[in-house]
Amino acid sequence: MITGSCLCGGVRYEVDGKIGPALNCHCSMCRKATGAAFRSRVAVPRKNFRWVAGEDLLTLYASSPTTTRTFCKICGSTLVSLFHDNPETLGLPMGTLDDDPGIRPTFHVFVGSKASWFEISDGLPQFEGFPPRSLVRQDGSETSIPGDG
């Protein structure tokens, strides 16, 4: 069981089951939503996720025609993203996790729009946009990543 929460602690959640892949997203929307060079996020099957407290504190923002982001309306913490074209998978920002999820980001996406002042130096695979579908299964779990052994 993995737990997480927002900054004020009003919104809490649990994840029970397999998660992944984890990635670092450099798109301008993720950068703006987090105020950081990128957003580390993990794919979570919706069936493995549940709100424990504060679901009434969530507010929604449609950041694109295919993605709705959730936030705590008290502290502003970014919480799960809802993907309209893949409703069975949630995008969970790893910065809200209270526990070690046991996985690490394995690639970078949308590096074509990364912050000009940030240099990616970790050696993980980088993709200009979305990763190839062959790397990510429909349930969000990983297949092999190039260079990952």
Q: Which two tokens stand for residue 113?
A: 């729009």
Residues 128-144: what's their mean pLDDT?
A: 65
User: Which DSSP helix (H) or strand (E) runs through 34?
Assistant: helix 28-34
Sheet with 58-64, strands from edge to edge, namely: 58-64, 67-72, 78-83, 89-93, 39-45, 22-25, 108-109
Closest-CA residue to 54 (of 101, 8, 93, 17): 8
What residues contact 78, with CB distance under 8 A and at least 6 apart? Answer: 33, 34, 39, 69, 70, 71, 93, 95, 96
Peptide bond into 21 cis (omega under 30): yes
2-135 folds as: 2.170.150
Residues 65-90: what's their mean pLDDT?
A: 95
pLDDT band at 63 (very low <50, low <70, confident <90, very high): very high
Q: What is the pLDDT of residues 83-121, one digit of tens each?
A: 999 999 999 999 999 999 999 999 999 999 999 999 999
Domain boundaries, the chain: 2-135
CA separation for the pair 79, 95 (Å, rounded): 9
Contact 60/33 with Cβ under 8 angstroms?
no
Is residue 31 predicted with pLDDT exceeding 90? yes
pLDDT in the model for residue 147: 36
Residues 113-136: what's their mean pLDDT?
A: 90
